[in-house]
């Protein structure tokens, strides 16, 4: 069972191709229906669809997209595992930072979780917040997939006296509380670009030869071209011909909408990602797109439409810049390992050794998985943003790498 990106290092995506398991007939028929829908959009767009729209359809087309078609995506029987699926230790540690955020946000503070997946993290958080004696006024979940929402409702059926509520849109302002998004930003569609031989910017699009989807390039739209030029300015260098990567163009608008409603509170954004300099490193010449199918990782998003997950790393520098531009403060930036240790992972393990010695080896191995550099410890980062929340925050007391952003 692999966690996302566990096996992928700089420029070395897990070898793709022949060793992917063959989907059964039902799955292939499902994929063919979604592919037909995508082919119609390609035709309606004059023969080429932006990759961003392709990714949106492949993941979120109602009834057909990867996250919207009712299959189990998480854990051993699915395609990948996220930190809450690795261990409840993740939620137990995160709860301590959430508790501090709720306390600082003041009376009436609630939790808002984006993209709650199976609902595991919400269940762990609610349980641990209860143990810490800090119940949020409400636990809100904003989940675009109707199927995942149903899955979360089943996981969260017995949450005692904490009111869990699902939203169709952002809560109304002014809002106080703590926002959580674990492995959500990586699942937001990206535009894919390539630098042309004359220094021009091309947009990589998807076309179809009837049997398969293939890549095609066209001149970038003014919006994408401007975003690439801004990126070059921020990097202080031009990107070389052939250099291919991604930009998550809708992220600033997503963050600004959140900022608009936040009267006082904390945002905890957890994901695999890099600072801008690492993300757009000259050697990372093909971007960070990664696909998962039954615990195999590969880098071809045009296969298995609707059956495989696809995602791209998060540029945390871009996120921090977008936050400042809409009036949020950047309160902390740490690796997942440092964050969990700062939130008391060591103390929780010591207690488990006393209370459940027979299960301790299992907990210790889960903790390693969450924190070791070759596993989820370094590739995953935590960025804290906020309004009217005074630093320092607990989760960044071991190490705070804001200066690197
Ligand atoms: C990789 S899963 C992570 C699930 C969960 N947070 C976890 O850690 O296991 C990505 C989740 O993000 C959700 N998602 C994608 N775009 C979203 C958006 N714009 N707003 C809220 N949720 C979103 C997906 O539907 C899915 O639940």
Q: What is the structure's pLDDT at 3?
A: 63
Q: How far is CA 32 from CA 38, 102, 264, in A?
A: 10, 46, 47
Buried b / exposed e over 275-306, threshold 16 CB at 10 Å, is: bbeebbeeebeebbbbbbbebbbbbebbbbbb
183 lines ligand 1 (CB under 6 A): yes
CA of 115 to the centre of ligand 1 (A): 3
Token reading at 126: 């609610």
CA distance 149 to 118: 8
State the sign of the Cα–Cα–Cα–Cα dihedral 222, 223, 226, 227: negative
Q: Which alpha helices (H) appear in 187-288, and where do they start and end?
A: 222-235, 251-261, 276-279
Closest CA to 279 of 310, 324, 314, 244: 314
pLDDT value for 80: 86
Ligand 1 pocket test, pick from 57, 113, 182, 187 with the greatest ligand atom count within 8 Å of Cβ, gives 187
Residue 66's region, left for phi above 0, alpha for psi from -120 to 50, else beta, is: alpha
Minimal-distance CA residue to ligand 1 atom 8: 182
227 CA distance to ligand 1 middle (Å): 25
Distance between Cα 181 and ligand 1 center (Å):
8
d(CA 18, CA 94): 39
123: left (phi over 0), alpha (psi -120 to 50) or beta: alpha
pLDDT at 11 (0 to 100): 34
According to the model, what pLDDT value does residue 18 have? 46
User: Residue with the nearest Cα to atom 26 of ligand 1?
Assistant: 115
- Please tell me the predicted confidence (pLDDT) of residue 16: 45
Strands 164-167 and 139-142: parallel
Question: Residue 268 in contact with residue 101, Cβ under 8 Å?
Answer: yes
Q: Is there an atom of ligand 1 within 6 Å of 119 CB?
A: no
Axis-axis angle for helices 88-105, 120-131 (nearest 10)? 60
Q: Is 182 in the pocket of ligand 1 (CB under 6 A)?
A: yes
Any atom of ligand 1 within 6 Å of the Cβ of 112: no
C-beta of 184 in contact with ligand 1 (< 6 A): yes
**Ligand 1 pocket test target in 59, 184, 293, 370 with most atoms within 8 Å of CB:** 184
Q: Is the CB of 91 under 6 A from ligand 1?
A: no
Please report which residue ranges of 143-248 form alpha helices under DSSP H. Answer: 146-155, 222-235
CA-closest residue to ligand 1 atom 23: 115
264: enclosing H helix or E strand: strand 262-274
Q: Is 337 in the pocket of ligand 1 (CB under 6 A)?
A: no
Q: How far is the CA of 278 from the centre of ligand 1 (A)?
A: 24
Structure tokens at 32: 């063919």
Q: Is 155 in the pocket of ligand 1 (CB under 6 A)?
A: no
- Residue 46: other Cβ atoms inside 10 A: 9
Q: How far is the CA of 113 from the centre of ligand 1 (A)?
A: 9
Ligand 1 centre to CA of 340 (Å) is 21
Q: What angle do CA 146, 149, 151 make, to 5 degrees?
A: 115
The DSSP secondary-structure symbol of 67 reads: G
Contact 288, 311 (CB under 8 A): no
The answer to whether the beta carbons of residues 129 and 135 sit under 8 Å apart is: yes
The pTM score is 0.95
Give me ligand 1 centre to Cα 94, in Å. 17
- Whether 328 and 305 have beta carbons less than 8 Å apart is answered as no
Question: Which of 376, 405, 401, 395 lies closest to 2 in space, CA to CA?
Answer: 376
Percent of residues in the chain assigned helix, strand, coil, to nearest 5: 40, 25, 40
CA of 184 to the centre of ligand 1 (A): 4
Q: Report residue 358: phi and psi, to 5°.
A: -70, -20
- Each of the 405 residues of the chain gets a pLDDT tens digit; together they read 556 554 443 333 344 444 789 999 999 999 999 999 999 999 999 999 999 999 999 999 999 999 998 777 888 888 889 999 999 999 999 999 999 999 999 999 999 999 999 999 999 999 999 999 988 889 999 999 999 999 999 999 876 667 899 999 999 989 999 999 999 999 999 999 999 999 999 999 999 998 899 999 999 999 999 999 999 999 999 999 999 999 999 999 999 999 999 999 999 999 999 999 999 999 999 999 999 999 899 999 999 999 999 999 999 999 999 999 999 999 999 999 999 999 999 999 999 999 999 999 999 999 999 999 999 999 999 999 999 999 899 999 999 999 999
Closest protein CA for atom 7 of ligand 1: 117
Evaluate whether 366 touches 86 at the Cβ level (below 8 Å): yes
Residue 101 beta carbon below 6 angstroms from any ligand 1 atom = no
Q: Is the CB of 57 under 6 A from ligand 1?
A: no
3-state class of 263 per DSSP?
Answer: strand
């Amino acid at each position: 069972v692999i966690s996302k990106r566990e096996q992928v290092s700089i420029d070395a995506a897990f070898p793709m191709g022949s060793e992917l398991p063959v989907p059964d007939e039902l799955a292939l028929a499902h994929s063919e229906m979604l592919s037909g829908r995508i082919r119609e959009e390609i035709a309606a767009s004059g023969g080429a669809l932006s990759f961003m729209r392709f990714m949106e359809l492949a993941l979120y087309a109602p009834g057909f997209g990867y996250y919207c078609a009712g299959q189990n995506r998480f854990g051993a029987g699915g395609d990948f595992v996220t930190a809450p699926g690795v261990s409840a230790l993740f939620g137990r540690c995160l709860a301590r930072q959430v508790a501090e955020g709720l306390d600082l946000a003041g009376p009436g503070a609630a939790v808002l979780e984006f993209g709650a997946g199976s609902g595991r993290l919400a269940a762990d958080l609610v349980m641990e917040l209860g143990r810490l004696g800090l119940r949020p006024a409400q636990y809100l979940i904003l989940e675009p997939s109707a199927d995942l929402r149903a899955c979360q409702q089943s996981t969260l059926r017995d949450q005692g006296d904490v009111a869990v509520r699902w939203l169709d849109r952002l809560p109304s302002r002014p809002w106080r509380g703590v926002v959580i998004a674990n492995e959500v930003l990586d699942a937001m569609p990206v535009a894919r670009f390539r630098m042309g031989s004359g220094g021009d910017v091309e947009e990589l699009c998807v076309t179809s030869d009837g049997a398969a989807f293939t890549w095609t390039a066209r001149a970038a739209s003014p919006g994408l071209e401007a975003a690439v030029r801004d990126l070059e300015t921020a990097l202080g260098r031009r990107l070389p011909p052939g250099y291919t990567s991604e930009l998550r163009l809708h992220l600033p608008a997503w963050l600004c909408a959140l900022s608009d409603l936040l009267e006082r509170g904390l945002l905890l954004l957890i994901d695999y990602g890099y600072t801008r300099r690492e993300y757009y490193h000259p050697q990372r010449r093909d971007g960070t797109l990664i696909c998962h199918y039954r615990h195999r990782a590969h880098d071809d998003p045009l296969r298995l439409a609707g059956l495989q997950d696809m995602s791209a790393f998060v540029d945390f520098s871009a996120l921090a810049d977008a936050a400042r531009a809409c009036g949020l403060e950047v309160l902390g930036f740490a690796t997942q390992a440092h964050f969990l240790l700062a939130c008391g992972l060591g103390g929780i393990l010591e207690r488990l050794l006393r209370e459940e010695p027979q299960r301790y080896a299992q907990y210790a191995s889960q903790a390693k998985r969450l924190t070791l550099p070759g596993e989820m410890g370094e590739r995953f980062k935590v960025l804290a943003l906020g309004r009217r929340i005074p630093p320092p925050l607990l989760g960044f007391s071991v190490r705070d790498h804001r200066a690197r952003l």
